[in-house]
């Protein structure tokens, strides 16, 4: 085995670990997405693996920060209700459990 082969195998394994497949609810359907393992969106579920390293949209970030300051408690209550009662959300939580 050559050094090049070892290095490429390690890089490929590292890339696979960095973006794992995860499930996400989109309306009442469940779709497969990627969970970022590194980059500014570490831990977040995104549609494309390339989005993990995309630059942040500052306007959206500050706008959401203001919205969360005003409506944070209401958002949390709604999210809790959805996660408890929506069938798709319950399916997603079962699919994303560690095996």
pLDDT bin (cut points 50, 70, 90) of residue 3 is low
How confident is the model over 22-31, as pLDDT tens digits? 999 998 999 9
Statement: the pTM of the whole predicted model exceeds 0.75: no
**Pairwise CA distance, residues 92 & 39, whole Å:** 24
| Extents of the domains making up the chain | 19-95
Per-residue pLDDT at 85 exceeds 90 = yes
Backbone angles phi, psi at 39, to 5 degrees: 90, 180
């Amino acid at each position: 085995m050559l050094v090049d082969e070892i290095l490429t195998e390690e890089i490929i394994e590292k890339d696979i670990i960095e973006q794992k497949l995860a499930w996400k609810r989109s309306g009442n359907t469940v779709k497969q997405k990627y969970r970022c393992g590194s980059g500014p969106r570490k831990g977040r579920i995104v549609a494309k693996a390339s989005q993990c390293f995309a630059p942040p949209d500052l306007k959206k970030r500050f706008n959401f920060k203001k919205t969360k300051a005003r409506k944070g408690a209401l958002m949390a209550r709604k999210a809790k209700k959805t996660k408890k009662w929506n069938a798709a959300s319950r399916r997603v939580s079962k699919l994303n459990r560690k095996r």
